[in-house]
Amino acid sequence: MNFAFVIDNRRCIGCHACSTACKSENSVPLGVHRTWVKYVEKGVFPATRRYFQVTRCNHCASPPCVPICPTAAMFRRPDGIVEFDREACIGCKACLQACPYDAIHIDPESGTAAKCHFCAHRTDVGLEPACVVVCPVHAILAGDLDDPASEVARAVSTERVSVRKPEQGTRPKLFYIEGEDSALFPMLASQTAGYLWGQMPSESAGGYGDWRGPIQISEGRMAGALVRSAAAPRETYNVGHRVPWHWQVPAYLVTKAIGAGMLLIAAIGTALGWLPESPLFVTAAPILALLLTAVTTALLVADLDRPERFWKILARPQWRSWLTRGALVLMAFAAFTALWWLAHAAGRPDLARSLAWPASALAVLAAIYTAFLFAQAEGRDLWQSPLLSTHLLVQSVMAGAAGFLLLGPFFGMEESSARLLAILFAVSLGAELLVTAVGEFGLRHASAVAAAAARMITRGRYAPHYWTSLAAGTALPLLMVVFAHGSPAVLAASAAIALAGLFLYEWAFVFAPQQIPNS
């Protein structure tokens, strides 16, 4: 079996009976929706038209929400229904980031992920989903796509149907008969005006609705420039958009970068004889790396909606998820950091030099694994950058060098070590400028969604964060290092400014893509 939905837009009257039936059948709390009706209006009065679109989970044949889930709480059944297990969910919200359709939400009562599940409790006993039964005009069809005699299969094979975001490769199974492009693809309708019965939530008003330029809406189909005029499509009703990940995520990126970077520099530097085996490098560095790894873990747990369930990542791991793999990387990094430190403390420099290499490799993995996690978040196109792993490594080296320059005056760091670290710091700052300004935001983006997020960073809501991090947080510290003439105080000040700039950049990079709605 292969269950699918078909929405007949020729019949839909926008009555919201499906939304109401879904809430009643599944006890969906107020403020969240498993299915809803989106409104888009086109034309100039009196020649106007309103389009309705029933919106919900697409029950994808290749659902990105499944592999990113660290506990397999989100899973695809053999019959094609994408289901969720609220008892296994830890509220990490990774599935919300992975969904290109904004079809998943966090249930405010249980703190776990929820969405349309095809009324599986009804489907399992041969009944149709509640929304199908209640629709007064038979605009919602549900059935087995593999059964050629089913109404769904006949509709898909004989009618002109569309799906949302086919370019994502998720193979969605929510088909629309005579779907309206400006409703199917959010970037085609202005989203900056008020709604029919109230104002758009401020969290959603990001300024992306005036996107201009050709937008690829499917293979071989391009939409022309969206011109801001009275005739342009306008979204007039939709559910409120929410940002899943909060301040803990940019903070975790910074703490992880400092800890991994300091251990990487100390381990390689002492193993190759470039840095002395002094207390700063063989004692303070690993202790700080361990402390910052603990802080990183605490920040990740704090952002869970069910933090008391964090242990389930280890108790029932889903190994395709980079949340699970990342947890393992951080644990291994902490273990080898502790062993490297203990080897030095025990007076075994030979053993410490041997442990330096696996510890360094794990430091690199700890620094860059978030790039693979973000790559699994297919609902946030800007995070799909192929440069991200390189960028995270550069940031980690910069942050690690900054950490040592901050600590140097307190440990009486040797002039030769300070000079080497200042050079490394300057080079990494230069690389950060290059990768950020030219690589991440200087090149053309692969999709309109990514371009809208980048525009929000460079010219919109997060422009102050971006330009402050670039100018004051990267270029200024680089100039300070060049003209510091070895002054420990100037080097320490430049390091502190660079770390503050890194946090500002991560704040913009994490939050801007989350502001772009996918529905």
Give the whole-angstrom CA distance, residue 140 versus residue 133.
9
Looking at residue 193, what is its pLDDT? Answer: 56
Read off the pLDDT of each residue in 61-81 and give the average, rounded to a whole number.
97
- H or E element that contains 326: helix 322-345
For residue 484, give the nearest of 162, 476, 263, 340 by alpha carbon.
Answer: 476
Looking at residue 220, what is its pLDDT? Answer: 45
> How far are the Cα atoms of 60, 92, 245, 427, 493 from residue 96, in angstroms, in the given order?
14, 9, 9, 37, 39
Is pLDDT above 90 for 224?
no
Give the whole-angstrom CA distance, residue 460 versus residue 399.
27
Looking at residue 67, what is its pLDDT? Answer: 97
pLDDT digits (tens, 9 = 90+) for 273-329: 999 999 999 999 999 999 999 999 999 999 999 999 999 999 999 999 999 999 999
Is pLDDT above 50 for 217?
no
Read off the pLDDT of each residue in 93-122 and give the average, rounded to a whole number.
96
For residue 73, give the nearest of 95, 58, 57 by alpha carbon.
Answer: 95
Read off the pLDDT of each residue in 216-233 and give the average, rounded to a whole number.
50
Structural contact between residues 112 and 306, judged by C-beta atoms closer than 8 angstroms: yes
How many degrees, rounded to 5, is the angle at CA 325 between CA 322 and CA 327? Answer: 110
Looking at residue 242, what is its pLDDT? Answer: 87
Q: Is residue 207 very low, low, confident or very high in pLDDT (cuts 50, 70, 90)?
A: very low
Looking at residue 186, what is its pLDDT? Answer: 83
The partner residues of 82 in beta bridges, in order of sequence, read 76
Is pLDDT above 50 for 435?
yes
Q: In order of start, what are the domains of the chain with their CATH numbers?
A: 3-237 (3.30.70.20), 248-514 (1.20.1630.10)
Looking at residue 215, what is its pLDDT? Answer: 46
Looking at residue 222, what is its pLDDT? Answer: 44
Identity of residue 453: A
DSSP tag of 144? E
CA 72 to chain centre: 18
